[in-house]
Amino acid sequence: MADDQVLTDMLTMLDRSPEVLALRVCVIELLIERERYADALAHCGTALGHEPGNAQVLGLMMRCTTALSGSPAAASVPETAAPAPSSAATAQPDFDWAAAEDEVGDIIEPAFVRGVPTEFVTDDDAATVERPALRLADVGGMVEVKRQLELTLLGPLRNPELAKAFGTSARGGLLLYGPPGCGKTFLASAVAGELGAGFYPIEITDILDIYTGASERNVHSIFEMARRNAPCVLFLDEVDALGHKRSRMHASTTMRTVVNQLLTDMDSATHSNEGVFVLGATNHPWDVDVALRRPGRFDRMIFVGLPDLAARTSILHYHLRDRPVAGIDLNTLAADTDGFSGADLAHVCTSATQLALADSMRSGQVRPIGMADVRAALAQIRPSTGAWFESARNVVEFANGDGSYDDLATYLRRRKRR
């Protein structure tokens, strides 16, 4: 823990003074110590961008590439949950999902209380809250999603009197839903940044403890922590886990209690308007407990679909920006990746990086990532959201009686026409 605090502090300092090479070298060394080679490598790329040919950095880069190329230790990035393997990931067994996810995670989820165990929830939590610098303007494309966020949440918060005059408010929770890896967490973080509020991302599955009955306490502690640190965005990820587990685990009484506790806390958080904005996310809104969808709770849903052209350009740019690249035509790549999720694009960039690294290692010369690497990566990676869209089509066809999924239906029709 103390060690990680050192790294966190160094990263904070580096954020403030990104041009100080000695600081970056220190961070690289700390990351290597923790076997976070992919992260270390990204920093090597940035350092070489500032000072091409720096011998110390080249040496560190070599250590990372050697570790990544074969050592089993390199693949074991600690405490990182790998997502369910996509067909693409299984088709390419050497791909280090854990390292890639860790890297993606760093963009939006720095050292924070993900799934905070109760003992971590202390008065010191203000020190650990993330204050995202991200703004909606940093989220590429997604014009319709941003318009809806503005209309349902940000606008009313900025103009409370006006909202009141129109009989509306920003109260209640907002549920972002859509296929995996398409920017829900990223958007929630941008909303917090936009409000200048703290950001608490919580995974519902992490607070469920059906064996000891501590789940309600966990839920309550998290809301208490959020209230102490208002204004903040409390981001509840995987909200469907409550509905799911309840039907599957024959533990309906326990789950009912957890849902009830969540409802109580949500009601008081949102009704007394204490500056706790509850955002939820799910890939399967059709599994979300119905009680959670009632007025005042997650009563508004926003569909977050696949990244459009502008979003894909920003995503590709984001994932390549700190890596040594040459001759990459982002617009062409974005045009050729329709149907890819943000996570798929991250996967493509990491695979392309590994190809260039492997080559650099063979020749002993650092060779930048080029279009040929990205094309080769693309040839092996298929969009991972096919199964999600199949379920979504069924829901729209057979379970959209109340029009909850009209947005999704329109989106599916539009994509079909293309």
**Residue 21, C-beta contacts closer than 8 angstroms, at least 6 positions apart:** 47, 50, 51, 54, 57
Question: What are φ and ψ of residue 212, in 5° steps?
Answer: -105, -5
Q: What is the C-alpha separation between 41 and 366, in angstroms, rounded?
A: 12
Q: Considering the complex, what minimum distance in angstroms separates the CB of residue 283 from ligand ATP?
A: 5
Q: Considering the complex, what minimum distance in angstroms separates the CB of residue 387 from ligand ATP?
A: 13
Contact between 109 and 201 (Cβ < 8 Å): yes
Q: Listing from the earlier edge strand, what are the strands of the sheet with 232-237?
A: 198-203, 232-237, 276-282, 173-177, 298-303
Q: Considering the complex, what minimum distance in angstroms separates the CB of residue 114 from ligand ATP?
A: 12
Alpha-carbon torsion, ordered 70, 72, 77, 83, to 10 deg? 90
Stretch of residues binding Mg ion (CB under 5 A), selected from 30-38, 169-177, 179-187, 367-375: 179-187
Q: Please identify the residue of the shown chain whose CB is closest to the bound Mg ion.
A: 185
Residues numbered 104 to 123 that lie near ligand ATP (CB under 6 A) are: 104, 107-108
Does 342 engage in binding with ligand ATP (CB under 6 A)?
yes
Could you tell me the two tokens for 401?
Answer: 């009686």
Q: What is the C-alpha separation between 113 and 98, in angstroms, rounded?
A: 19
Stretch of residues binding ligand ATP (CB under 6 A), selected from 11-19, 182-190, 219-227, 396-404: 182-190
Does 181 engage in binding with ligand ATP (CB under 6 A)?
yes
State yes or no: cis peptide before 231, omega within 30 of 0. Answer: yes
Please count the residues of the chain: 418
**Residue 412, C-beta contacts closer than 8 angstroms, at least 6 positions apart:** 389, 392, 393, 396
Does 388 engage in binding with ligand ATP (CB under 6 A)?
no
Residues binding ligand ATP: what is the number (CB under 6 A)?
Answer: 24
Residues numbered 131 to 160 that lie near ligand ATP (CB under 6 A) are: 139-142
Does 183 engage in binding with ligand ATP (CB under 6 A)?
yes
Q: Considering the complex, what minimum distance in angstroms separates the CB of residue 284 from ligand ATP?
A: 10
Choice from 46, 65, 148, 185 touching Mg ion (CB under 5 A): 185
Q: What is the C-alpha separation between 129 and 111, in angstroms, rounded?
A: 9
Q: Which is nearer to ligand ATP, 277 or 303 (CB)?
A: 303
Choice from 88, 311, 316, 395 touching ligand ATP (CB under 6 A): 311
360 binds, among Mg ion, ligand ATP, none (CB under 5 to 8 A by kind): none
Residues numbered 208 to 247 that lie near ligand ATP (CB under 6 A) are: none
Q: Considering the complex, what minimum distance in angstroms separates the CB of residue 198 from ligand ATP?
A: 18
Sign (positive/negative) of CA torsion 343, 345, 350, 351? positive
- Tell me which residues touch Mg ion (CB under 5 A): 184-185
Residues that bind ligand ATP (CB under 6 A): 104, 107-108, 139-142, 180-186, 281, 283, 307, 311, 314-315, 318, 342-343, 346
